Chains A and B, each alone.
Chain A
Amino acid sequence: MSHRVRISVNGKAEEADVESRLLLCHFLRDQLGLTGTNVGCDTSQCGSCTVLMDGKAVKSCTILAVQADGCDVTTIEGLAGAGGLHPVQQSFWDNHGLQCGFCTPGMIMTAVEILDRQPDASDADVRHGLEGNICRCTGYENIVKSVVAAGARGS
């Protein structure tokens, strides 16, 4: 059975008929072509697919597209203004906060929400806040550094 959804994605109104079971991550990737949101697992453990839904970080593999009906969704592609970088993106670049890049969009989106709640988040706060996101490359050291630095710079 299909349902009509209206979702604002990166500030653009999207309207589509979707199957009940369609996950938000697949709606974003396959129907809107927003492939920046990566899918790294099937049990909501890794956080690679994290996006902001009405300002809250959510794992888009755990949300049905129909649940996002009427919501504002921001993906990594829509985080910064045209041509620029969001301060958290810039901080990941400056602090070598990524290696293979696969978990990075989810890390950045989660970090944005952490700093939104707690701009002066400490190293320990950030480690706690990133518990739901897995990175297999960096050992988290430079991810934590990136987030703390972005907070200190007033992201």
Chain B
Amino acid sequence: MGRYVGTSVKRVEDPRFIQGKGRYVANIQLPGMVHVAIKRSPEAHARITGMDTSAASAMDGVLAVFTGQDFKDGGCGSLPCGWLVPDTKVPDRPIVVTDRVCHVGDSVAVVVAEDPYVAADAVEAIEVDYEPLPTVVDARGAMDEGAPLVHAEIEDNVSYHWALGDQEACDKAFAEADEVVEIELVNQRLIPTAMEPRAAAAQWDGASEEMTVWTTSQNPHPIRLLLSAFTLGIPESKLRVISPDVGGGFGSKIFHYPEEVIVPWVARQVGRPARWVATRTESQMTDSQGRDHVTVARLAMTSGGTFTGLDVETWANQGAYLSTFAPLIPTALYITLLSGNYKMPGVFGKVHGTLTNTVPVDAYRGAGRPEAAYLVERLVDLAAARLGRDPLDLRRQNAIPKEDFPYQTPVAFLYDSGDYDRLMAKAADNADYAGMRAAQADARGQGKLRGVGVVCCIEASGPAPSAVAGSLGSAVGFWESGEVRVHPTGQISVFTGSHAHGQGHETTLAQVVADELGVPIESVEVVHGDTGRVNFGMGTYGSRSACVGGSALVRSAEKVRAKVLQIGAHLLEAAEEDVVYDRDTGRVHVKGSPDSGKDFGEMAFAAYTAHNLPEGMEPGLDFTSFYDPENFTFPASSHICEVEVCSDTWEVRILRYVAVDDVGKVINPMIVEGQLQGGIVQGVGQALTEIGAYSDDGQLLSGTLLEYAVPRADLLPGIEVDRIETPSPHNPLGVKGAGEMGTIAATPAVANAVLDALAPLGVTHIELPLTPERIWRAVQAAGNGA
């Protein structure tokens, strides 16, 4: 191991952020820039019977008002879906609607003005006549007979059906089961709520016919591809997409959005640079949302507590249109995770992707995996209650033993490595689980509602082998590019297709390359987020940047090292086999004579002067790799949460939160811990406070931060994080994803704790979030009103 990997190097990106120098899209000022604002539908489903834009157009400072027809006539294509499972029905999703709105927030018209305040006034001045149509908002209700159709041509509102697993083994497990526990639950709609609202800016150069688009994206290259091939029609060679500093994403900034088309189209149309910045309310009703499943499931087991089968049926709400990767989430990222960390032969799951008059649903932190973990971990707790077993003990009994890795589940995935028993043992140790249970018994003796929640969760991170993704419905590959460009002075620029929006890649990827080459980290600069500077890359989501992006850089650094070694040997007038590359110093020297060697900088310079290179060697020192992973990586976690529910106010107070995670090898412990802490609090938010709520007529009831309750600083007393390491055997860094594990585990950990606290009152299930009102109602329903 080198000097940097494995150590908590302070982040190199921080000085600009702490001094207010972040380069966010909303900060971009271009000479002559105009401001774009968008008229949004207040109706969830309606026909547009008339629109009057004359008052808006006549306002001082308004340059233009465009309607859906203008964009259609102006050559804008509809937004495509990039993941199609067999027989997917894809509704048309225009950039701006022409005759019908399908969810609150749908784009209706576009205003261009000299000033953002004037643009907002003009949006208000546009008059639209709507003829309301019947609405449907519920994932399962969308398939009911007679339910209103979101799109007339899509029967039963079903976009697709999908199933995976060993149905025969599953049926056998239930036929032979001693015990079966069942559950019906909702995994509620969430709104990702990255703190930076989405934004886009664009500049058209009429002379070169080149368009530059700045956008708040997690993956600028795929956005350029979609803009070029589907929506905007400008060749990739003339289109530069830049994602500068992006203020959080959590999945919501993966997708191709209408505004990324509207803003460059407008810029070219009016011949001036243009910018659009979402208000928070606009973001909440137009950013793709997360989760929203209704599920019925049952778990089969022996009387001795051995799990034998799991049978799952899920209705997944996809919203009004298919967002860019929508069908992927409840299929290949959900059903495939239903085996959890457990050995059970008969797992089978099926899902129905339904369309409703709600904001589109796509990946949100965890994306499919939290839905699977919440379901499985609730069922395991029900199983423990049924058998009168300790929930931790039952999990340890059923955990896949470490000697069974790589482990083939019945639902496609081959888990790469893990040690779930050790993970749970460490969590129990750190939490003093026995002490927690004793304290719980004491508290109960005093009439207090104390609960302990335990989980063991799995994640599939680092997507994905491209051929596997293709076979499952992906329209794109999931490799990553990485270029290591050594300059003549020995300074290094690293270009990665990964994109950082809070993860600290400028630090961690520099750590990796500095160690691979044995150079000071200060000499390595990481460049990302600009299609004009970086090779095509796939971007960041699914906790893939270290696994896939980092691995691409390792491969490129290996190529640099091989060439430097050849140059060094040549300069030292020695045979290649007689010299070594010292990875601590970046020097090449004759074996056994470390003092007589060449510095990295000397060899880099020699590569560029080309005065004295080995026979036939090309000048330069610059290598690119495209790394396609062999498999996903499989991080795991065991979290233990201790709560107390107040029997006067029914508020939940978290007393302790203990997390032990296995994310493989760790490049920067400080950053990994930060990812886990942040992820955990988002998962706690799903458990306790957050819900993207719709009324039956499709109104978004939590459209601002007044109603959508993200966790605040006082929600938790603190989080105790720790880890074990089972390296991934198939990537050169041994790393697994760290970005989503916390979110996946935290929701069931808190839910299990609260339901454990309420168990003496006869409450066995409450839909999330576990607000005081919902808890109070459940307690009343159980006949235990205090």
Write the residues of chain A forming the contact surface with B, with a CB cutoff of 8 angstroms: 19, 21-22, 26, 29-30, 33-43, 45-46, 48, 75-77, 80, 85, 89, 92-94, 96, 98-105, 108, 123-124, 126-128, 130-131, 133-144
Find chain B residues with CB under 8 A from A142 CB: 674, 677
Q: Are A40 and B197 in contact (CB under 8 A)?
A: yes
Find chain A residues with CB under 8 A from B195 CB: 38, 40, 46, 48, 100, 102-103, 134-137
* Nearest-CB residue, chain A, relative to B708: A45
Q: Are A41 and B705 in contact (CB under 8 A)?
A: yes
* Nearest-CB residue, chain B, relative to A129: B713
- Per the bound structure, the CA–CA distance linking A94 and B9 in Å amounts to 10
Find chain B residues with CB under 8 A from A40 CB: 195-197, 247, 280
- Per the bound structure, the CA–CA distance linking A66 and B546 in Å amounts to 49
8 contacts between A and B (CB under 8 A): A38-B24, A40-B195, A41-B704, A76-B19, A99-B674, A99-B678, A139-B678, A140-B681
Residue from the list B17, B27, B714 in contact with A131, Cβ < 8 A: B714
Q: Are B710 and A75 in contact (CB under 8 A)?
A: no
- Per the bound structure, the CA–CA distance linking A34 and B714 in Å amounts to 30
* Nearest-CB residue, chain B, relative to A123: B718
Q: B237 on the interface (CB 8 Å rule)? A: no
Find chain B residues with CB under 8 A from A98 CB: 14, 17-18
Find chain B residues with CB under 8 A from A29 CB: 27
Q: Are B14 and A85 in contact (CB under 8 A)?
A: no
Tell me the minimal C-beta distance from A92 to chain B in angstroms: 5
Tell me the minimal C-beta distance from B717 to chain A in angstroms: 8
Find chain B residues with CB under 8 A from A101 CB: 13-14, 16-18, 22, 245, 247, 502
Tell me the minimal C-beta distance from B25 to chain A in angstroms: 11
Q: B503 on the interface (CB 8 Å rule)? A: yes
Residue from the list B16, B245, B248, B674 in contact with A96, Cβ < 8 A: B674
- Per the bound structure, the CA–CA distance linking A85 and B742 in Å amounts to 32
Q: In the complex, how many residues of chain B place their beta carbon closer than 8 angstroms to a beta carbon of chain A?
A: 60
Q: B11 on the interface (CB 8 Å rule)? A: yes
Given contacts A99-B678, A101-B247, A131-B712, contact A136 B18 (CB under 8 A): no
Q: Are B19 and A136 in contact (CB under 8 A)?
A: no
* Nearest-CB residue, chain A, relative to B284: A41
Q: B15 on the interface (CB 8 Å rule)? A: yes
- Per the bound structure, the CA–CA distance linking A93 and B117 in Å amounts to 36
* Nearest-CB residue, chain B, relative to A131: B712
Q: Are A76 and B20 in contact (CB under 8 A)?
A: yes
Given contacts A41-B705, A141-B677, contact A136 B710 (CB under 8 A): yes
Q: B10 on the interface (CB 8 Å rule)? A: yes
Given contacts A35-B27, A42-B281, A141-B718, contact A104 B18 (CB under 8 A): yes
Tell me the minimal C-beta distance from A5 to chain B in angstroms: 16
Q: B279 on the interface (CB 8 Å rule)? A: yes
- Per the bound structure, the CA–CA distance linking A96 and B14 in Å amounts to 9
Given contacts A48-B195, A80-B19, A98-B18, contact A130 B674 (CB under 8 A): no
Write the residues of chain B forming the contact surface with A, with a CB cutoff of 8 angstroms: 8, 10-11, 13-22, 24, 26-27, 29, 116-117, 193-197, 245-248, 250, 279-281, 501-504, 670-671, 673-675, 677-682, 704-706, 710-714, 716-719, 742
* Nearest-CB residue, chain B, relative to A138: B678
Tell me the minimal C-beta distance from B540 to chain A in angstroms: 12
Residue from the list B248, B670, B705, B713 in contact with A100, Cβ < 8 A: B248
Tell me the minimal C-beta distance from A59 to chain B in angstroms: 12
- Per the bound structure, the CA–CA distance linking A143 and B27 in Å amounts to 24
Find chain A residues with CB under 8 A from B670 CB: 96
Tell me the minimal C-beta distance from B124 to chain A in angstroms: 13
Given contacts A98-B17, A126-B713, contact A136 B194 (CB under 8 A): yes
Known: A26-B116, A39-B197, A136-B195. 4 other contacts (CB 8 A): A19-B117, A30-B116, A131-B712, A138-B677
Highest count of chain B CB atoms <10 Å: which of A80, A93, A130: A93
* Nearest-CB residue, chain B, relative to A40: B195
Q: Are B19 and A85 in contact (CB under 8 A)?
A: yes
- Per the bound structure, the CA–CA distance linking A137 and B682 in Å amounts to 8
Q: Are A94 and B705 in contact (CB under 8 A)?
A: no
Residue from the list B14, B15, B245, B682 in contact with A136, Cβ < 8 A: B682
Find chain B residues with CB under 8 A from A139 CB: 677-682, 711, 716, 719, 742
Q: Are A46 and B280 in contact (CB under 8 A)?
A: yes
- Per the bound structure, the CA–CA distance linking A77 and B18 in Å amounts to 9
- Per the bound structure, the CA–CA distance linking A103 and B20 in Å amounts to 10
* Nearest-CB residue, chain B, relative to A95: B670
* Nearest-CB residue, chain B, relative to A76: B20
Tell me the minimal C-beta distance from A62 to chain B in angstroms: 13
Q: Are B196 and A99 in contact (CB under 8 A)?
A: no
* Nearest-CB residue, chain B, relative to A36: B20
Residue from the list A19, A123, A136, A141 in contact with B248, Cβ < 8 A: A136
Residue from the list A34, A105, A130 in contact with B713, Cβ < 8 A: A130
- Per the bound structure, the CA–CA distance linking A80 and B245 in Å amounts to 23
- Per the bound structure, the CA–CA distance linking A60 and B411 in Å amounts to 52
